[in-house]
Structure 1
């Protein structure tokens, strides 16, 4: 008896990042997809909501692929769209090569031709469903299209903020690096400050708790979280006093003049995290490899985020 192999769906993602964020973007890719791309385009069998990432621009679910455009049209003719309207978008690869099909008029013509071959009702202004056509890795592809939403951008407008806090874009990437698959994961931010990481995690539906030893900040933290309609446990607790167990901890180590900690305190904090979390992602402005190893961690991956001359490291530990 012949055993049919289960067909696997391929997803194509496009990425964009600033030069200072390339390292962070690459680490997020490795965390979410298991590999990275140097071209701004990544193909994977992993289905990720593009709005989760500050770097993913869009996702195409590959329905048809062909060596040339005419063969793709032949396949698209079999598609029936019932009960909803549609629109077709041509997705550029971002390649600097000035190919014929990259011209605006050609792209519009291809979108129209694909649309005419689909059995359904097109609506270019308010479609219910979006499709994409793209020439990528030597072949033509067509499929459902989802554009990423900059959720992190809305979170910049919170009632309370600190100049030293992570920006929402970086915080969102750090959450993805720490928790690529949220299913069944219980996480904590034990130095949560004003709640930037908590808000990004909660917006993705992640089960996360927050704590901080600074009583002056937590009122603002709770107000920030509630401002966006989220809720989670936020406790006045020193990281060294946490007794519950978590799958993941995200620790943005204190570093400003109001939060001076000695090397001994830093080691104690990390040793405590080693006890209550299986995986820890540390954000630091100073070298701490030796301290992490002394605390019992193995460093698995890392990235550097720059802003002018200011530099942070994101370190994945287990």
Structure 2
């Protein structure tokens, strides 16, 4: 059966490293309320694909059909038009069980659909990019959005530490903590050189950074300014924070690299419970009992690995 979509449906495709599988799925659950083991996802929610370090592309579905010929007929019947456009086929990789379509076949389909659309073809700077994808023996046509890997630029910040989160993980963590930034106020009270803060600010998340080390605070401010972002970094312990926040993001200082005691780690979690309704904690140690003790409940979790270094990502409410 062929369908003209009356309610928006979006198809997202994903690409990630093997050791990012669990983190990617946790981000999926945060955005959409569910995950999938496939490298694509259907949802009626519109998420900018550039927010995620794992999303590759998004299709806002206009039509779906059993064959490419049916798609052509729908485009003709609905008189699809744009002042300038190009057509792009997603199937340059395996999508679920659907095998990659060879390059010559994809280009042929793109040209054939392009000839039906009213307007001026423009491969370099089109007003609209139309997308085409085949998944599980059905074809989908609509408006295409390509993810822009903003996080790649942030790798080259002027100040960095070898133990800091990498930008992909930091971006996913910011998304898990704040999937929808509207009217949400966040804080990273142990922000270090601001890796999470930079990613969050670049996505329009209202976040403040804080650290007890004045040199580190200076480095975080320089990193934010380097990318022409505007954000606040203050110096001081979390115990001096008096405001209340919707969410707190804590990359918990590690005994392996700092002189912080376990008691001080416990106090940080207690203070996070005091100042926020929700908290995302990154830890290299199992601290489930401490989280429960301060009144938080772990609602989702995963692990992320970098070589032999394992971090736990805990979402607490």
Is this a same-fold pair by TM over 0.5? yes
Distance 2:165 2:152 in 1: 13
Distance 2:51 2:277 in 1: 23
Distance 2:217 2:122 in 1: 49
What's the counterpart of residue 277 of structure 1? 276
Q: How does 1:118-267 map to 2 (within 5 A)?
A: 118-255=117-254, 259-267=258-266
Distance 1:164 1:311 in 2: 12
String of CA shifts for 1:135-176, please: whole Å, max 9, x gaps.
Answer: 123311100101101111100111111111111110000000
Distance 1:98 1:244 in 2: 51
Misfit runs of 4+, over 6 Å = none
Q: Is the 8 A contact 1:186 1:247 kept in 2?
A: yes
Distance 2:300 2:280 in 1: 10
Query: 1:116 Cα shift?
Result: 1.1
Distance 2:168 2:191 in 1: 16
String of CA shifts for 1:260-309, please: whole Å, max 9, x gaps.
Answer: 22222111111111011000000011111111111111000001101111
What's the counterpart of residue 53 of structure 2? 54
Secondary structure of the corresponding residue to residue 102 of structure 1: coil
Query: 1:311 Cα shift?
Result: 0.4
Query: 1:256 Cα shift?
Result: 5.4
Distance 2:20 2:167 in 1: 13
TM-score when scaled to structure 1? 0.94
Q: Is the 8 A contact 1:52 1:204 kept in 2?
A: yes
String of CA shifts for 1:61-88, please: whole Å, max 9, x gaps.
Answer: 0011112211111111123324x31110
Distance 1:268 1:199 in 2: 26
Query: 1:122 Cα shift?
Result: 1.0
- Structure 1's unaligned 5+ residue stretches are 1-5
Distance 1:217 1:43 in 2: 42
Q: Is the 8 A contact 2:191 2:211 kept in 1?
A: yes
Query: 1:257 Cα shift?
Result: 5.0
Distance 1:316 1:197 in 2: 15
**Pair 12,95 (structure 1): closer, same or farther in 2 beyond 3 Å:** closer
String of CA shifts for 1:185-229, please: whole Å, max 9, x gaps.
Answer: 000000000001110000011111111111221111111111111
Query: 1:234 Cα shift?
Result: 1.0
Instruction: Give the number of equivalent residue pairs.
Output: 311
TM-score when scaled to structure 2? 0.94
Distance 2:298 2:252 in 1: 16
Distance 1:23 1:196 in 2: 21
- Structure 2's unaligned 5+ residue stretches are none
Query: 1:259 Cα shift?
Result: 2.5
What's the counterpart of residue 3 of structure 1? none
**Pair 98,22 (structure 1): closer, same or farther in 2 beyond 3 Å:** closer
Distance 2:258 2:214 in 1: 13
Secondary structure of the corresponding residue to residue 57 of structure 2: strand
User: CA RMSD, aligned part only?
Assistant: 1.6
Bigger shift: residues 181-190 or 247-256: 247-256
What's the counterpart of residue 9 of structure 2? 10
Distance 2:106 2:139 in 1: 13
